[in-house]
Structure 1
Amino acid sequence: MPADLSARPAGGRTPIVIRLLVLATFVVILNETIMINAIPRLMTDLHVTERSAQWVSTAFMLTMAAVIPVTGWFLQRVTTRRAYALAMGVFLVGTALSAVAPNFPLLLMGRVVQAGGTAVMMPLLMTTLMTVVPERDRGRVMGNVTLAISVAPAMGPVISGLVLQLGSWRWLFVLVLPIAGAVTWLGLRQLENVGEPEAGTIDWFSVALSTLGFGGLVYGLSRFETGNVTTPALIVVVGLVVIAAFVLRQRRLQRTGTPLLDVRVLLVGTYAKALTLMAIAFLAMLGSMLLLPLYLQNLRHLSPLATGLLVMPGGLAMGLLGPSIGRLYDRFGGRLLVIPGSIGVTAALAGFTQISLSMPYWVLLALHILLMVSLAAAFTPVFTLGLGALPQHLYSHGSSMLGTLQQVAAALGTALVVTVMSARTTALVEDGIEPATAHLDGMKLAFGVSAALSLIVIVMAVLLPNRSHAPDESGEREPQLVH
Structure 2
Amino acid sequence: MQHSGRAAASAPHEFGNVRKLPILISLIIGAFFSILNETLLNIAFPELMVELNVSAPTLQWLATGYMLVVGVLVPASALLVQWFTTRQMFLGAMMLFSLGTLVCGVAPQFSVILIGRLLQAAGTGLMLPVMMNTILVLYPPEKRGAAMGSIGLVIMFAPAIGPTLSGLILQSLQWRWLFFMVLPFAIFSIVFAFIYLKNVSQPTKPKVDVVSIVLSTIGFGGIVYGFSSSGEGHGGWSSPLVYGIVLVGAVALLLFVIRQLRVEEPLMDLRAFRYPMFTLTTILLIIMMMTLFSTMSLLPFYFQGALGLTVFMSGLLLLPGSLLNGLISPVTGKLFDKFGPRALVIPGAAFLVIIMWFFTRVSMDTSKATLLILHICLMVAISMIMMPTQTNGLNQLPSRYYPHGTAILNTLQQVAGAIGVALFIGIMTSGQRNFLERSPDPTSPAQMSEAVVSGVHNAFMIGFGFAVIALVLTFFLKRSQGAPS
TM range (shorter): over 0.9
The runs of 4+ residues in structure 1 deviating greater than 6 Å are none
Residue in structure 2 matched with residue 378 of structure 1 by the alignment: 385
Matched, 1:109 2:115: yes
Which string of whole-angstrom CA distances, capped at 9 and with x for unpartnered residues, describes residues 208-240 of structure 1? 111111010011101224963142233222211
1:39 aligned to 41, 45, 51, which one?
45
Which one of 23, 27, 32 corresponds to residue 26 of structure 1? 32
SS for the counterpart of 2:262 is helix
| 2:203 alignment partner, SS class | coil
> 1:346-387 deviations in whole A, cap 9, x for unaligned?
222221112222211111011100111111111121111011
Contact persistence 2:73–2:125 (CA under 8 A): yes
CA contact (8 A) 2:71 2:415 kept: yes
The match for 1:246 is 256
Residues 66-85 of structure 1: pairs in structure 2 closer than 5 A: 66-85=72-91
SS for the counterpart of 2:335 is: helix
Partners of 1:367 and 1:295 in 2: CA distance: 14
Q: How does 1:58-69 map to 2 (within 5 A)?
A: 58-69=64-75
Letter paired with 2:131? L
- Is the 1:154–1:289 contact (alpha carbons within 8 Å) kept by the matching residues of 2? no
- Count of matched residue pairs: 465
Distance 1:347 1:154 in 2: 23
Q: Which moved more, 1:14-23 or 1:267-276?
A: 14-23
Check conservation: 1:274, 1:382, Cα contact below 8 A: yes
- Once the two structures are superposed, what CA deviation does each residue of 1:157-182 show, in whole Å capped at 9, x if it has no partner? 22222222232221111111111111
CA offsets 1:112-168 (integer angstroms, 9 cap, x no match): 110001011111111010111122211111111101223323332222222222322
Aligned to 1:354: 361
CA distance in 1, matches of 2:365, 2:204: 60
The 5 Å alignment of 1:24-423 reads: 24-225=30-231, 228-230=236-238, 231=240, 232-253=242-263, 255=264, 258-423=265-430
Match of 1:440 in 2: 453
Moved more, 451-460 or 416-425: 451-460
- Please tell me the residue identity of whatever aligns with 2:477: L
- The answer to whether the 8 Å contact 1:99/1:173 transfers is yes
Between the aligned partners of 2:66 and 2:390, the Cα distance in structure 1 is 24
1:417-436, Cα deviation, whole Å (9 max, x unpaired): 11101111112212225222
1:26, 1:147 within 8 Å by CA — same for their partners in 2?
no
DSSP-derived class of the 1:216 partner: helix
Q: Letter of the aligned partner of 2:223 in structure 1?
A: L
CA distance in 1, matches of 2:167, 2:448: 27
Q: Is the 8 A contact 1:206 1:249 kept in 2?
A: yes
TM superposition shift of 1:199:
2.3
CA distance in 2, matches of 1:321, 1:252: 42
Is the 2:153–2:328 contact (alpha carbons within 8 Å) kept by the matching residues of 1? Answer: no
Secondary structure class of the residue paired with 2:482: coil
Do 1:33 and 1:57's aligned partners in 2 also have CA atoms closer than 8 Å? no
The CA distance in 1 between the partners of 2:36 and 2:353, in whole Å, is: 26
Q: Is the 8 A contact 1:8 1:15 kept in 2?
A: no
Q: Please give the alpha-carbon distance, in whole angstroms, between the structure 2 residues aligned to 1:161 and 1:294.
A: 17
CA displacement at 1:453 relative to structure 2: 1.4
Secondary structure, counterpart of 2:83 in structure 1: coil
In structure 2, C-alpha distance between the alignment counterparts of 1:322 and 1:56, rounded to whole Å: 30
Q: Give the equivalent residue in structure 1 for 2:3.
A: none
Quote the offset at 1:4 in angstroms: 4.3
DSSP-derived class of the 1:73 partner: helix
- Say whether 1:453 aligns with 2:460: no
Deviates more, 1:184-193 or 1:304-313: 304-313
Q: Return the alpha-carbon distance in structure 2 between the equivalents of residues 170 and 5 of structure 1.
A: 43
In the alignment, the residues of structure 2 paired with residue 3 and residue 250 of structure 1 have an alpha-carbon distance, to the nearest angstrom, of 28
Q: Distance in 1 between matches of 2:14 and 2:484?
A: 21
Residues 2, 404 of structure 1: CA spacing in aligned structure 2 closer, same or farther, 3 A cutoff?
Answer: closer
Match of 1:478 in 2: none
Report what 1:470 is aligned to: 482
Distance 1:2 1:310, change over 3 A: closer
- 2-structure distance, mates of 1:428, 1:68: 41
Assess if the C-alpha contact under 8 Å between 2:12 and 2:201 holds in 1: no
* Equivalent pair of 1:322/1:376 in contact (CA under 8 Å): yes
Instruction: Tell me, in whole angstroms, the C-alpha distance in 1 between the residues paired with 2:172 and 2:280.
Output: 45
- Do 1:62 and 1:215's aligned partners in 2 also have CA atoms closer than 8 Å? yes
- Identity among equivalent pairs (%): 37
Q: 1 CA distance for matches of 2:416 and 2:43?
A: 21
Alpha-carbon separation, structure 1, partners of 2:386 and 2:17? 28
Q: Distance in 1 between matches of 2:428 and 2:222?
A: 24
**Deviation at residue 86 of structure 1 after TM alignment:** 0.7
The code of the aligned residue for 2:451 comes to A
SS state at 1:410 partner: helix
Q: Which amino acid aligns with 2:221?
A: G
C-alpha separation in 1, matches of 2:305 and 2:17: 53
Superposed displacement of residue 15, structure 1: 2.8
Alignment check: 8 A CA contact 1:33 1:157 kept: yes
Secondary structure in structure 1 of the residue aligned to 2:483: coil
User: In 2, distance between residues paired with 1:161 and 1:287?
Assistant: 22
The residue type paired with residue 233 of structure 1 is Y
AA of the residue aligned to 2:473: M
CA offsets 1:316-349 (integer angstroms, 9 cap, x no match): 1111111111111111111010011112222222
RMSD between aligned alpha carbons?
1.6
The one-letter amino acid of 1:195's match is S
User: Could you tell me the TM-score, scaled by structure 2's length?
Assistant: 0.93
Which digits, 9 at most, give the CA deviation of each residue in 1:252-298, with x for residues without a partner? Answer: 22x3xx21111111221100100111111111111111111121122
Residue 243 (structure 1) shift: 0.4
CA contact (8 A) 2:355 2:374 kept: yes
What residue ranges of structure 1 are gaps of 5+ in the alignment? 474-483
Q: What amino acid does structure 2 have at the position aligned with 1:42? A: L
